[in-house]
């Protein structure tokens, strides 16, 4: 009878393993995403404008169109095989404001003889690019995102169990 009970406990413990690093990072990303993505800003339009201008011009070297009064910023970047146009617009007549992001991306290939193919549609902004840009704007306007104590405890517990530094979850690097 003891063998059956101990075998049952062993099977149950292997079926329900502890949370792994990917699951914890996923929870952290989901929380940050819920705080940052597609949120309204109850901040003066000038402050939002300064934030989107700073974040946008850090990635795209050329400003094609900017109108602080209308809240539209159009940015452009190009290399020999890619070109992108990003438009960020502040929506709303008064506070709270929302942000709209539109991207036109084109790509072309290069033949072995050095000539290029025609420009083709290269898709739109990826979810990661959108999150990254909104994260930067959010932190400029609202400060850092505070994670709940429950998530901080999970990270601390995970890190305490790790013997190697490379397996730890590092704030500022992983989340």
SS (H, E, C) the chain: CHHHHHHHHHHHHHHCCCCCHHHHHHHHHHHHHHHHCCCCECCCHHHHHHHHHHHHHHHCCEEEEEECCCCEEEEEEECCCEEEEEEEEEECCCCCEEEEEEEEEEECCECCCCCECCCEECCCCCHHHHHHHHHHHHHHHHCCCCCCHHHHHHHHHHHHHCCCHHHCCCCCCCC
- Under CATH, to which class is 19-167 assigned? alpha beta
CA dist 127 and 58 (Å) reads 19
pLDDT of residue 162: 85
pLDDT of residue 96: 92
CA dist 135 and 39 (Å) reads 11
pLDDT of residue 87: 96
**In the chain, where the domains are located:** 19-167
Residues of the chain below pLDDT 50: 9-17
pLDDT of residue 8: 54
Looking up tokens 């602080």 gives: 68
Token pair for residue 110?
A: 């290069």
Mean pLDDT estimate for the chain: 87
């Amino acid at each position: 009878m003891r063998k059956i009970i101990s075998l049952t406990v062993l099977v149950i413990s292997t079926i329900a393993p502890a949370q792994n690093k990917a699951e914890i990072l996923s929870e952290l990303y989901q929380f940050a995403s819920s705080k940052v993505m597609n949120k309204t800003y109850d901040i003066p339009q000038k402050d939002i404008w300064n934030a989107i201008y700073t974040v946008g011009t850090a990635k795209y070297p050329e400003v094609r169109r900017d109108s602080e009064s209308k809240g539209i910023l159009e940015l452009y970047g190009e290399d020999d095989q890619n070109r992108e146009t990003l438009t960020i617009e502040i929506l709303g007549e008064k506070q709270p404001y929302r942000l709209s992001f539109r991207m036109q991306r084109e790509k072309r290939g290069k033949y072995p003889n050095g000539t290029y193919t025609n420009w083709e549609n290269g898709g739109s902004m990826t979810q990661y690019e959108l999150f990254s840009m909104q994260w930067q704007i959010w932190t400029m306007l609202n400060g850092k995102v505070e994670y709940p104590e429950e998530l901080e405890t999970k990270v601390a517990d995970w890190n305490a169990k790790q013997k190697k530094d490379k397996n730890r979850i590092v704030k500022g690097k992983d989340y």
